[in-house]
Structure 1
């Protein structure tokens, strides 16, 4: 007896049948390239001479890929690729919009500057024990977090960057590094646990982890679902990772302990991933709950700003001082999230990008200053202006930029956040943003007066005679970027405003994941 003819199966409802355009591969190439480059460097770790040039070349390619990705998104809108050809929500999606592309590009800039700086500051032992492979693995995690469209994979990429950051933190195995790593690891693992609990709760409510799918279903099913509990879990988890008050004590206790280039990379990248995740979840997925929590986020933002600025004023170790400035900047970003709207979210995004560049550069400048004077203690430092006038001028630009003074990159996002706060009647929050800038100026002005302008007391035997070339190149490039953004902010500002609008109205993001409304 003949078997019945098999019925035709419409695979187009489950699989991507058409080959993706070549340009769409840019969505996953940054992550794949970092993993591949890190593996190659790991295999060659015993040849310490090859590590810096190979890593710098790999990071240069990463920067090019992220620049091309941003161009692709600007020209064509959000882009999605799914793993294994399975259509969302079954296939794991990489989806990038303007916000993700901008953060990925700036993270690549920071990483390349860090790789150049490390060429002379990381010795043969640090190279042999994996500084550059850890750096590429860190960038794989950071890039994956900015480009993923799946919230469980956001958790996975957080884990990848945490694992690599642990390795970078203990590189050298000094007692202070081990102590800093324990403090860093404990609260970050608590935050990761909360994040994973929230992800499990999210899947239980919606049966999906695709961000575009969640955004649509949350809007449709909001009545009757305990979304506020879920939102609070995400705010707490990402607040810990971003070092927001009152769960920020791990940062000043740990960021001063590793090599200065590691601290620079951490300051530029890690807390910004937490802020990015908070904005992505609270603005795009749960905007109603975000509005309900806005006052609590605003209070936390104000406390974070004040705590960071006052903590910086009270420090005599310049590395610890910068850790508190990182925290203060996180408060400005949280203020933008709390205010909401295009101005608030745009200001938060702008400040995060500014902070990635300026905080990385400040740590690098502090490392150079420490080598020139032989100390990081303000009570013993002095004479830097007389010894290195050009380097001192670069440092002064960074001090003004981190304080929010014109005409540098820190001025515009603070104005945006303060204006957005005034527009909704939150005068106290706008005043806190402005007061924090004044307190930050006092903190960095103290550094300038004591370490740069004051005559040198006693020359240290550990002091270097002059700044190293690769370190100065990295620092000069980052300073040039903050000056360029400050003097001519329009191109970046236009993209940031468009990114904020796309986050608040994610229809283009959803249509990228589910073409023609196919869900």
Structure 2
């Protein structure tokens, strides 16, 4: 079977970024390149998912070189679904950005950087080795810093610097872990590591597991490694914040699920030591995130803190280390990509219309902008876990898996955090869409 399609999500956005740089200030051409490349990626991702569903996982080896020397691309159902959902979201947000961004936002650099970011996200899902996962993370880091600081406001620059410093710490730990893994096993290919780590001393194996968990936990925003996220994401332009919130943290979660289940499964550095740790981390992440959200008076900051709390649910499913738990975690990841992206896109609309996203300074949008209110209501109810939306199915699946594993404490935490999530969404609805603003900010002209 021809598996060359696996290279398209990696190569196409890089070539597109180069073309976007060449066309320079001709913004319409840049837009055309971006939409064309992302549309091709969506089609290819759909074809890949269909082939994976029919034939099982797909493997492509660059130049015919086998692991551990060659570059290996591997896609199973989990990776294929993530690839398809992420490319669809990237395309939708790109179109949204073109409609909402003004001259000061949609600069010459936006489209090339956005495509580099897309390449990093896609590479994370299709790579079969940890070194190329590291390369993908660096691609995302380089693009993310400039995208966060588009506009050049002081708060954006500060947030961008914080993001870069924390990411560089994670990158340093990541490359150090890779060096130690290679020294111990002679490979960084994940499939090879799944075999060779079984021959490594258990204490060393556990150390590798913890180091990778810290690296990817920083990317995902896990407790206690989340502190950079609430200040970094809300300051970025609306479309950038949406793609960061919807995708970048989920790349970290994907890496955690992939490495912990493949390389450190139960009985080999996984559930024999780490399930309770992951459940404790999941519970703390849920609680800290939702408590932080409750204390905020800004729509974007509330949603940013809820990224943290919702990541806790995903890690809860992994920490159960059961088929049902991991399946629920995967479903929760997909649900959260869609819902959180939608909520931040709506927050961008609110900010653009009202000139602010502070709850006390907006008010009354249900009367003046009922469409925006409706666009908020559906994903907000889903995030809170109310039926019949996807959030209810995701939380019900996690709860069922937790009860089946007799993990009653984490189930209770999840249910309690769900109630506070509903409270937060109600708080946004009351402040932004009902009532009247305490102050009257200057309205941003509409285009």
The answer to whether TM tops 0.5 is: yes
Cα separation, 1, equivalents of 2:128 and 2:439: 56
Cα separation, 1, equivalents of 2:300 and 2:256: 27
Cα separation, 1, equivalents of 2:149 and 2:80: 31
Pair 1:461-2:411 in alignment = no
User: Could you tell me which residue of structure 2 aligns to residue 409 of structure 1?
Assistant: 390
Secondary structure of 2:28's counterpart equals coil
- Deviations 1:306-364 (CA, angstroms, capped at 9, x unpaired): 11111111111111111101111111111111111111111111111111111111011
User: Could you tell me which residue of structure 1 aligns to residue 404 of structure 2?
Assistant: 423
1:236 aligned residue (214, 223, 238): 214
Cα separation, 2, equivalents of 1:170 and 1:406: 38
> After alignment, is 372-381 or 251-260 more displaced?
372-381
Whether the 8 Å CA contact 1:401–1:411 is kept in 2: the answer is yes
After superposition, where does 1:54-453 map in structure 2 within 5 Å? 54-219=33-198, 221-222=199-200, 226-287=204-265, 288-291=268-271, 292-453=273-434
- Deviations 1:172-221 (CA, angstroms, capped at 9, x unpaired): 221111100111111111111111111111111110111111112223x1
Aligned-pair distance for 1:97? 0.7
Whether the 8 Å CA contact 1:300–1:331 is kept in 2: the answer is yes
Whether the 8 Å CA contact 1:373–1:464 is kept in 2: the answer is no
Aligned-pair distance for 1:72? 1.2
Whether the 8 Å CA contact 2:355–2:442 is kept in 1: the answer is yes
Cα separation, 2, equivalents of 1:156 and 1:265: 19
- Deviations 1:87-122 (CA, angstroms, capped at 9, x unpaired): 222211111111111111111111011101101222
Whether the 8 Å CA contact 1:89–1:209 is kept in 2: the answer is yes
Cα separation, 2, equivalents of 1:413 and 1:290: 24
The alignment yields a C-alpha RMSD, in angstroms, of 1.5
Whether the 8 Å CA contact 2:360–2:437 is kept in 1: the answer is no
Aligned-pair distance for 1:38? 1.2
User: Could you tell me which residue of structure 2 aligns to residue 517 of structure 1?
Assistant: none
Secondary structure of 1:80's counterpart equals strand
- Deviations 1:407-461 (CA, angstroms, capped at 9, x unpaired): 1111112111121111121111011111111101101101101210214566543
Q: Which has the higher contact order (CA 8 A, sep 6+)?
A: 1
2:8 aligned residue (29, 52, 55): 29
Secondary structure of 1:315's counterpart equals coil
> After alignment, is 43-52 or 318-327 more displaced?
43-52
- Deviations 1:4-26 (CA, angstroms, capped at 9, x unpaired): xxxxxxxxxxxxxxxxx43x111
Whether the 8 Å CA contact 2:194–2:263 is kept in 1: the answer is yes
Aligned-pair distance for 1:388? 1.8
Distance 1:453 1:464, change over 3 A: farther
Pair 1:52-2:31 in alignment = yes
> After alignment, is 243-252 or 83-92 more displaced?
83-92
- The answer for unaligned runs of 5 or more in structure 1 is 1-20, 469-519
Aligned-pair distance for 1:290? 2.1
Cα separation, 2, equivalents of 1:128 and 1:328: 33
Cα separation, 1, equivalents of 2:104 and 2:358: 26
Secondary structure of 1:454's counterpart equals coil
Secondary structure of 1:379's counterpart equals helix
Cα separation, 2, equivalents of 1:453 and 1:224: 57
Q: Give the TM-score normalised by structure 2.
A: 0.96
- Deviations 1:231-256 (CA, angstroms, capped at 9, x unpaired): 11111111111110111000001111
Distance 1:125 1:224, change over 3 A: closer
Question: Runs of 4 or more off by more than 4 Å in structure 1?
Answer: 222-225, 456-459
Cα separation, 1, equivalents of 2:409 and 2:147: 40
